[in-house]
Structure 1
Amino acid sequence: MVETDACNSCLTAIRVLRVTLVDELEGKIDSLLEVLVSREVFTRDDREEVLCRPGPRSRVRTVLDILGCKGEEAAKVFLAISSEPQEEAQRDSKELNTQPQSIEYNKVKQKHKDVLRRRSESMLFYNTRHGEKNLFSEHYVNLLLVDGHQGLDIKRHELLTFGQKRLSMQQKSAVHKKIAPAELFSSAYGNRPVKKVLVTGVAGIGKTILVQKMLFDFGGRKDHLVFDFIIHMTFRDLNLIDKPTNFRELVLRKNRHLAKELDNIFANDEMLLIILDGFDEFRHYRGCNVDVFVTEPDEDAEVVEILGSLMQGELLPNASVMLTSRPTAVNHIPIGCVDRFVLIAGFSLAEVHDFFLHYFQDDAFADRMFAVVSANELMLTLCYIPAFCYIVCCILKESKDLCGESPKTMTDIYVQYLVCLIRSHTQSRAETFLQEQSPKGVEQLSDIVIKLGRLAFRKLMEHQTLFYSSDSDVAALEGCSLVSTFLDKTVTQEPGYTEDVYSFAHLTVQEFFAAVYCALTDHPLPEASTAGGTNSGHLDLFNRFLSGILSERNANLLSRHLGLSYHKDKVDTYRQRIIGELAVLCDNGAHILNHLHCLFEQQDPSLALAVQPKTLRINVSDETLSQMDYNAIKYFLNPIEGKISELDLTGTGVSCEALRDIQPLLLRCESLWLGENNLDMDSVQVIADVLQVSDTMTHLGIGWSNLGDDELLVLSSAIRVKKKLTELWMEGNRVSGRGLLSLSDLTPNPLKKVVAIWNDLTDTEPEPRCSQESITVNFNDDHMTWEAWGEWVYKRCEVSSNEKLVTVLHKVCNVSVDYLEVQWARTFYKQLSQLIKHRIESCTEDDMCKKLRKFENILDL
């Protein structure tokens, strides 16, 4: 606090320091207000006037306004109080409010811990039988938590690329970055107290298990959790509330035992932790960045306004809040209020093995099963995600009765998982479906699977994950004992009635059932999707499952075990369609990755050979590729002989290891685009190795890849060996005139075009180094070159998300007014400006609109 001169009026000091006081006191205004009342500087009416203001900063301003009418003595007392350490003011406030109830407060605190312990002591697996308990303490395996968060430009099925990232993270993460659950709110982190923590992670990675671990430890009175109370809420439950309520009622819905002491709990909010689990499942997740605040626990409002106020510190400002979410929804969280970002990185290899030991309860058998998984890349990749580690263990437990080979695809795993779960839930019933293998039993079983599939399919198409018992597709499952195997149930209670609400345990399970329904019934296949356009990834995994189910091996498995038959005409139609779509995508150079995965799910090499495009252009740009992605690319290209016209790996996060893995494919490329990847010297060396032996490669793009003179020197030496490369695009790097000099003897033969705009070139560089016509260091009036470049850039911008669009704009909007005088540039940037305007009109996020408007202003110059 800034000290005032003794000769100055305290009222004057308050007026002069008003802005500073608002900044300094917003975090402790409530406790300060109580002290002002206790010292009779303020009346209770004054306090009420302050408390009715929305938000802590507004309250500070109101206090300062009231003091202006109270006189010099009141201002003097206020400055003295506000200069005290916050702990003293809070202590005074606590003594006034909580001391008389301390005995009862502690009793309720003890009871609440007992309740949380009871609620969290069992770990529920997807096929847990009724009444069966798996003790949390016996099955919990440590998760790896690290500071930081994943990029926001991640598609819905981020789990498909997670495994390989996890391998890399395991190798690179320093030990000191790992976080124990008890350290999430550690005051030692950063320069300010940690009050709001955002925990992100892909589907099934263990977000809810982390929450259960914290509740379990707190209920077990572990000293390392320093809170008096933890309030746990799930967004699935909050979705059931569709009318105004208040925070008090939200807490009491499942914690009635707190009713008598809830006022004191709220008053002592610096000792309160509120956990909000599953933000990505919240039906109002797009609207939490509210500007209408709730400031009192008893104030009625819409649920989204209550939670938005809680996240932004307007409601219970001293409370700690932990929010969990998939990365796909993170950009809808008011990030400015988050003090710490934490990423759940799943299991390490040792923890996967530990999970096997816990699951199988037999060390020798667990070791054998772990060896099976370690030999299967797909299964091992999935095992780094805890939920799917469980699925794989479930399959392995039953695999001797299923098929002779290990799963090779995602669909293989889910088909076997489906059969495993049904066997697990039916084998103890001597008179039911599979034990007798009676026609009636099989017929019943197939009917139930189809009904589940119909529900999954219809709701998936509507982007819905919650299903009410009043829905006809849910009602059709009434009385079926197998429903609980695949659907979680929640009960919503409203005055006068209750209703059951269902959801699949994982979105991926819903997508799998939806694909089963579409593949094995008369329902027509979804319309073909070979055209370009923005792809949200909403149906990517559904389409992969659909392809896998419409394959002979999985169709036979489903028929043999579940009595599900397929229509051969539909299988043939699908196979012809995927062949045709792949041919069109290759000809157009359109994005092809998900189609390659669909082909991979078929596991039929003859399909790849049947694809006969006029040109073989493979575009997998702007996706962070995993090993599974590279496997799908190789599965398509390896059987096909001859040249690859184009391979576009722009913005894929390609590594040296990945380049080595696909090196035989690189040798067949005529054009290779590797821009927007951080290419280190090892990666550059792989590219150089290809250039030294390839008789095919004529075009190479390495723009915005952090390349300097040393890397360019390696590439230029490699180009001299075969002298086949005719165009080198390396815009936006760190190359200087010295680096360009290494290309001087290669231009104009073989290098007819070198594009080096936006590099570290200055007007002071020696003129001869950059004067050759083959080397372009600035925009010019070469219409053919730049119009093609502009068309390529614009095409990428058109199909990019807003986040990705901003990234591209940062690169290509570094233009001067002089450049815009060139005709092609004027046309291109005008087109780009129109795209930005269109995105702004349809954008609902203020922060993103601001970023886009910045580029709109640049291009309006």
Structure 2
Amino acid sequence: MKNKYESIFEGIKTQDNKTLLNSIYTQLYIIEGESEGADEEHEVLQMMKTSRKHLQDTPINCVDIFKPLQGAEGEVTAEGLKHKETKKGRKESNGPKVPNLRAVLTKGIAGIGKTVSVQKFILDWAEGKANQDVDFMFVLPFRELNLIKDDQYSLHELLCDFHPELKDLDPEIYDQLKAVFIFDGLDESRIPLDFEQCEKISDITMTSSVGVLMTNLIKGELLPSDLLWITSRPAAANQILPRYINRVTEIQGFNDPQKEEYFRKKISDQDQAKRIISHIKAVRSLHVMCHIPVFCWISATVLQKMIKQHNTKIPKTLTEMYSHFLITQTNTKNEKNEEKDERDPKNLLESNRTILLELAELAFKQLMKGNVMFYEEDLRESGIDVTEASVYSGIFTEIFREEHVLYQRKVYCFVHTELSGVPGCCYVFHCYESKNMEILHWFKPQHSEWSERFHWMSC
């Protein structure tokens, strides 16, 4: 687990982008509870309006996600605390011990740091720095569970598929040891969770569908004394009934000092880092958006490149920043193919028009369906050959990527959900210019909920 989680990849997974997590990790601002935003607004707009309300809240370190907050007299203050450690064969520690919360749901918008928080939680455990009362940590990402959602498994068989080292383990040992199950990316799930009419499974050797196993784990029918951590974007979090969750937390991203800390760690040239920080602080929209770690990464990528090229037209709006990121990555594609390094954005985009529009159409159609992960059947539905998808991921490496996951099957996605909105908006604009009414009819008043998805890009 240490070898797997000690490195972080900002963008595509290549050796050039590999960085030790502990060298760049910047503490995120995590609160107990959640923001109250209007459901019809884009989640980024909600965060802009509500994040300031929580500045006086007690922040939670990600490694303490299962530990209840303590009141002034030391009493446990978290609601819904019912879990007590009752497993057989576990040594009792000396002195009073506050029991952990069993199930924690952590919300956060795209790119805010949910997966990185999970990675830091696991790494600190693997290095012996935190949560040493835990024997196992099982990571089950929804993007991989989607690939086997129609298959039949026992929980032990499912865990062995994700962690082959467990194959010789006696299943009875699960009742004697303490485990944390981490379900990352509920918003990426295509697995039905039926809490009202689900078949009851209480034995880890009983076979059922992945959805039934997941539901029983969350309900506490399976391994009731183990801990569960579920991460999700806010819009998808209501798939879990509140009565099965002991704590809800929300990742607020970076506060102002943490934004500066990120750039100083990310950029080795401190004079350059200072210049970039000054520019970000001078432009309110950029400074506000930098509470999202992935936007900090995009900004660092773009601004470092432009400073190196002595470009004086540094982005001052979100649209300019995203556009320059797209242009930067298109030029990177040209460099890989030993094509001309085209400095004129108009000529550059025109020469790559066909492939950019295909990528934009895929982004738009999948956004309309609410999909953030794509599988081969999704690509075929959009008229894209799997071979073409491999080409996209090979040349637009910081925008679109192909991953080999369970059984080496392929999963496709934009590097971050925020980046799928950029080509998605480009496709809508293209349809407007070419009078493609089949697409534009979604933006009539009766379909206003869809247009809201793209409204934030113009803010």
Shift of 1:511: 2.4
1:178 and 2:178 aligned:
no
* Secondary structure at the counterpart of residue 236 of structure 2: helix
1:188-227 equivalences under 5 Å are 189-190=76-77, 192=82, 193=99, 194-227=101-134
Shift of 1:290: 5.0
Distance in 2 separating the partners of 1:394 and 1:227: 38
Q: 1:527 aligns with which of 407, 418, 441?
A: 441
* Secondary structure at the counterpart of residue 140 of structure 2: strand
CA offsets 1:280-334 (integer angstroms, 9 cap, x no match): 2111366456532221212222222111110110011110111111111222212
Distance in 2 separating the partners of 1:227 and 1:528: 50
Give the corresponding residue for 2:144: 237
Distance in 2 separating the partners of 1:330 and 1:463: 14
Give the corresponding residue for 2:272: 365
* Secondary structure at the counterpart of residue 479 of structure 1: helix
Q: 1:125 aligns with which of 7, 10, 23?
A: 10
Amino acid across the alignment from 2:441: E
CA offsets 1:728-785 (integer angstroms, 9 cap, x no match): xxxxxxxxxxxxxxxxxxxxxxxxxxxxxxxxxxxxxxxxxxxxxxxxxxxxxxxxxx
Shift of 1:214: 0.7
Contact 1:127 1:424 survives alignment (8 Å): no
1:149 and 2:29 aligned:
no
Shift of 1:202: 1.6
Distance 1:534 1:419, change over 3 A: closer
Q: 2:165 aligns with which of 257, 274, 285?
A: 257
Distance in 1 separating the partners of 2:52 and 2:413: 31
1:137 and 2:22 aligned:
yes
Contact 1:515 1:543 survives alignment (8 Å): no
CA offsets 1:111-161 (integer angstroms, 9 cap, x no match): xxxxx1111111111156455421111111001122112347534731233
Mark the runs of 5 or more structure 1 residues left unpaired by the alignment. Answer: 1-115, 546-600, 602-627, 629-861
Amino acid across the alignment from 1:527: H
Question: Larger relative contact order (C-alpha < 8 A, sep ≥ 6)?
Answer: 2
Amino acid across the alignment from 1:178: P
Distance in 2 separating the partners of 1:156 and 1:293: 38
Structure-1-length-normalised TM-score:
0.45
CA offsets 1:342-387 (integer angstroms, 9 cap, x no match): 1111111110000010111122221221111111010001001111
Shift of 1:279: 0.9
* Secondary structure at the counterpart of residue 519 of structure 1: helix
Contact 2:144 2:406 survives alignment (8 Å): no
| Structure with a larger share of its residues in helix | 1
CA offsets 1:40-63 (integer angstroms, 9 cap, x no match): xxxxxxxxxxxxxxxxxxxxxxxx
Shift of 1:507: 2.7
1:399 and 2:306 aligned:
yes
Give the corresponding residue for 2:54: 169
Q: 2:319 aligns with which of 411, 420, 424?
A: 411
Larger deviation, residues 461-470 vs 338-347: 461-470
1:791-802 equivalences under 5 Å are none
Distance in 2 separating the partners of 1:213 and 1:262: 29
Give the corresponding residue for 1:507: 417
Mark the runs of 5 or more structure 2 residues left unpaired by the alignment. Answer: 71-75, 83-98
Q: 1:485 aligns with which of 398, 422, 447?
A: 398
Shift of 1:443: 6.2
Amino acid across the alignment from 1:485: E
* Secondary structure at the counterpart of residue 280 of structure 1: helix
Structure-2-length-normalised TM-score:
0.82
Distance 1:286 1:249, change over 3 A: closer
Distance 1:329 1:132, change over 3 A: closer
Distance 1:534 1:443, change over 3 A: closer
Contact 2:111 2:418 survives alignment (8 Å): no
Give the corresponding residue for 2:90: none
Give the corresponding residue for 1:248: 156
Distance 1:486 1:474, change over 3 A: farther
Q: 1:341 aligns with which of 244, 248, 255?
A: 248
Distance 1:238 1:288, change over 3 A: farther
1:376 and 2:376 aligned:
no
Distance in 2 separating the partners of 1:469 and 1:434: 33
Give the corresponding residue for 2:452: 540
Distance 1:488 1:293, change over 3 A: farther
Contact 1:289 1:308 survives alignment (8 Å): no
Distance in 1 separating the partners of 2:205 and 2:37: 35
* Secondary structure at the counterpart of residue 167 of structure 2: helix
Shift of 1:424: 4.6
1:464 and 2:379 aligned:
no
1:585-604 equivalences under 5 Å are 601=458
Distance in 2 separating the partners of 1:133 and 1:264: 39
Distance 1:306 1:155, change over 3 A: farther
Contact 1:288 1:308 survives alignment (8 Å): yes
* Secondary structure at the counterpart of residue 391 of structure 1: helix
Q: CA RMSD in A?
A: 3.0
CA offsets 1:544-564 (integer angstroms, 9 cap, x no match): 54xxxxxxxxxxxxxxxxxxx
Shift of 1:458: 2.8
Contact 1:197 1:321 survives alignment (8 Å): yes
Distance 1:131 1:299, change over 3 A: farther
* Secondary structure at the counterpart of residue 364 of structure 1: helix
Distance 1:410 1:343, change over 3 A: same
1:34-49 equivalences under 5 Å are none
Distance in 1 separating the partners of 2:38 and 2:196: 19
Distance in 2 separating the partners of 1:463 and 1:202: 14
Shift of 1:500: 1.9
1:454 and 2:365 aligned:
no
Distance in 2 separating the partners of 1:492 and 1:124: 16
Contact 1:232 1:275 survives alignment (8 Å): yes
* Secondary structure at the counterpart of residue 197 of structure 1: strand
Shift of 1:254: 2.3
Distance in 2 separating the partners of 1:492 and 1:223: 28
Amino acid across the alignment from 1:473: I
Amino acid across the alignment from 1:468: Y
